[in-house]
Each structure stands twice: as structure tokens, then as C-alpha cells.
Structure 1
Amino acid sequence: MTDPDDNRSGDVRAAAREKARQLRTSQQRKDRRNKALLSGGIVLGVLAIAAIVAVVIVSAIRPTVPGPKNMASDGVVIGAGLKVKTTPALAADAKPVTSTPDPSASSAVDIRIYADYLCKLCGQFQRTNLEQLEPLVKDGAVTVAMHPVAIYTSHSAGTRYSLRAANAAACVANYSPNAFWAFNQSLFEKQPAEGGPGLTDKQLKQRVEGAKATNLSDIDACIDDGRFKSWVGAASDRALNGPIPNSDVRQMRNALLVLVNGKPYTGSLTSADDFKAFVLQAQGEEYSSTGTPTPTPTAG
């Protein structure tokens, strides 16, 4: 006769084994699930990192677009009558063509100004000197090449004003070049403060109109779509990395560089007399080397 206690003992052991089996199965399922989640998490993490890297790379690579007309040297060359020297638009990725003084012209003084429209020192220099330079340019005593650069792009409360302003200048050079002098001057006469948001695109368009530019609809569209922003970035990089053409200066070291016959001006930015003396000295040196008389800037 079978002892009932033996049967109960066997049932307990069987139940324990089944419970243990269920626990093992459950644990194995958890292990597989955790492994799958871990693997998936690694994959997602890798994909996320790859996506971030891709965004950074794409952001760093500027799309190549043709440059603006009349800025083949990365600057606008303004001569007698405040007229801009016309040049064709350079193809995307083409190297800039260094501007050289016209040998048939009477001018012997070549002034080149590299400036950021948000730069306070740039504004001081231009407000101090553009007024006295204007009649000299009109008379053909000097030529002035304006090179807009965007170096303070991150200094305008997130609006990227330096880049937008330089793009607007390129738009004016492309569509209404002979308004460039007045437009450039207007951006420095009432210059926004460093660190502030700068002018809006609407305000830039108003400055364009105030400069009596033509082809306003084309310029407005050019400002709206940032047509020459990639070109501005590339031109700024060229100025920062150097070399600076027709000069002993290797590269821009801040947001303002003024060259007179290839020599950097390092005098006062707020003294018109100091800069005039530097221009006269350069003109005298040019006269001594060529023996060719040139129009003399008059005191004013």
C-alpha cells in the first residue's frame, strides 16, 4: 500500500521543478529582451551620433554658388565719379581675380578697406574718413576697393547680422553697383551696436532704397534668399587665411584692415587728418617711384 505522504512529497517536488522551469524560462526571456534592447539602443545611439555628425558636416560645407558681379576681386572697386569697375560673376569655386590699378588712369593711390558691418572700429574709421574720401574718389585722385567680410556673425544675438549685411552689400554690387558707395556708407552712418541684433532684412532693404539703388525687386529677393551668403563666407575665409593680394600683410587679424598702396594703416581711426597724411605720404612715395604727377588731395 502506498504511503500518501510519499505522493504528497512527489507532488511538491514536481511543483518545485515546474516552478523552477518557469522561472528559468522567464529569466531567459528577460535576458533575451534586455539583450535586444541593449543592442537596439547601441544601434540607435550610433545612428544618432551619425546623424549629428552628418548635420555638422553638411552645415560646415557651404553650397557653392557663383559670386556676385562686380566683385571678382572679393571687393567692389570704386573709381572716378564713384563708378564701380564692372566685372563678371565668377563661377562657383573660382579663385578671385586680384584688382590692379588701371595704368591709363591718373590715380596712383589705391585704398582697400576690409570691414565687417557690425565692427565698431570699422564704423569709426568709415564715419571718420568716407566723407573726405568721397571727393577724392570722384575726382580720380584715389580708388577705393570695399571688401565686405563677415567675421562678427556670431556677435549679433543670433541674427547673423554681419553675414546678412555683407550679403546685402553683395546684392547691391550685383544688381545696382553704382549705389554701392552710398549703401555701404549708410550701414556705417547709423551702425547697430556690437552684440545687438543688428538691422532686420526689412531695414536693410530700406537702406538699399535710401541709397537710390535700382532693380529693387531683384535686390530684395537677393536679400530674402541670402543668395550670396556662401560667397561672403568664402571671401571672409580667404581674407582671414590670407595672403592679402598686393600687400605684405599676410592675413586679416581682426575685423578691419585698411591698405593704402598695399601698406596697412595703423594710425588713429577717429582722426581724419592722420589718415589724410598717410594717404599723402603714399601718394608722394608713388610719385617718387614713377615720376608721374597725380591729382593731389586737397585739404577740406
Structure 2
Amino acid sequence: MKFSEWIDIWLKNEKPFFKESTYATYSNIIENHIKPSLGAKNINYIQNNDLQNIIFEKLNSGKLNNKKGLSLKTVKDIMTVIKSCLNSAMKNGIIKRKTFDYKFPKNIPSKKIEIFSHAEHFKLFQYINSNLDEKSLGILISLLCGLRIGEVCGLKWCDIDFENEILSVNRTVQRIYIKKTISSESKIIISSPKTTSSFRNIPLSKHLIKTIKKLRKNNNFYIISGNRNFIEPRIYRKYYYSILSLLNISKLSFHSLRHTFATQAIELGTDYKTVAEILGHSSINTTLNLYVHPKMEHKKKCLTLIHNKLSSYLKKRKR
């Protein structure tokens, strides 16, 4: 049996257990990356070196134009799908049990997150406050709470508890693309947030609650549309970029609002656990790896404090 034949069977069997967005992601990975690299090979003859070669191939020239490599995260996602498929083949007696082993290079630089400068951040905040309506409110919420664009598009007025001043993240709006062998399709779905931890309650400041109350509408209305119909992320992203162009500030992705929020929260001394929970990260390590990069002056201050403490102890002993 060719690997392409088994992976189609595996995906069909696993479909009931996947979120619709996860199924779409796996379909794209399989059609765009796995089948072209491994699909024609007999599943019984797949060896560790085949898997290791795929890792190097995708990191070096994995994009569809073959000019650039894929990110390490994307390659890890590809290998997760391959390994899950092979494990299922062993479990079902399609191939003999064996250990599949491979490594990821350690010297790949991580992608630097993009954030707005303090001047740009203030300029955007000032503009939104001066031109506040339902649509611009979504940008303000992301600036002050770090929500993803799909979460902002999925917010309804019933998600805000005005009495206790809490915003609940309960759903996300996203367009998914399902790649098939000879065709592809896309559609908008409203689903649960990215992960279990992405369901979260975020306490709102008194000032933000006061601002939001001015625009309050029917509980079943979506916040940024002001009616029962949601605005999809692709459309809202265009609106966001139009504001950046108007203000003549860096054309960073909407996700950079989230990065900027997290970075400033940490710079202001907010503890990492709190930031992780506000962002909906499943692990504090995600927050630490993304946003905690101490500056040289902070490192120097740390060493100075330790030296001063030891010196102070030494002086006491001499007395």
C-alpha cells in the first residue's frame, strides 16, 4: 500500500475526533506537503532516514514556490501528522511495529515577534479613543486585553459581565481552507477557542468598562458588527490595515496587537502567570519563550543586586 492511500484512510477515520479547523489544517498539510514528499512510497518501506530527509527538505525549501523553507513549527506539525499516521498503521497491523526516530536542528533562529513602538501604540490608542464605534472597539479590546482576531470577531455583548467587569472568551470566528486532491474549498466557521485554556475570563479596567458601556447593545448581537451578523476576520483585517495606513504607522499584523499587549504587560512588571492566563496560553512556557527577553540593563541590575547582598553580608561578618 502506498503511504498516500493509507493517510487518506487514516484522515477519514480520525475526522470525527478532530475540530473542523484541525481537520482542515491536517488536510492542507497532507495534500501540500506529505503526499508530494512521501505519498508514492510503499508504507512498509518507510525508514527513519525518509523522515529525517523530509525535515531537512521542508526547512530548506518547503514553501509551495520552493524558494524558502517552512518554519520549524510548521515542520513539527507535518511530522506530528506523519507519526500519528504511522502509529495508526502499526496499531491496525498495516505495518510491523518499529520505532520511528528523527531529530530537529537546534540552530534554527526563532522568528522575532513584531510589536508596535511606544509612539505607534499611543498613536493608535489615541485615534481609537477619538473615533470610537462598534467596529473600532474590537481593536481597542485587542490593544488592552490581547485577544486574537478570531476571538474579537466572535465576541457578543452577552460575553461581557458589566456588573463584575469581566469579559469572557467563548468562541472564535475563522475561515478554514480544506485542500483536496483535485480541488479545495473554504468556509467560515464559528467554533470554540483555539485550546481549552483559550476559554478564559479577563477582568476589565474601570475605564474600559465605562467606554464599552456607551456602545452596549442587544446581548445576542456581535460587538464589532453591532447586529446579529458577525464580521469575518479577513474583512476585519482589511479595516484594521486601513487605520494603520491612515495613521502612517508600521503595517504589522493584527496579531501584533496581542504581542504588543503581552510585551508591555511584562515590561510594566506583571507576573508571567497572569500574562499567560490573560492570553489563554496552555503553558506559561509559551509566554516565557515568546515574550521574556531580558534587556542587558536588567541582567546587570540582577548581578549588581546579588553582589550587593553578598557584600552587605560580608560587612556584617567583619563587624
| TM-score normalised by L of structure 1 | 0.26
Q: Which has the higher contact order (CA 8 A, sep 6+)?
A: 1
| TM-score normalised by L of structure 2 | 0.25
Larger gyration radius, structure 1 or structure 2 = 1
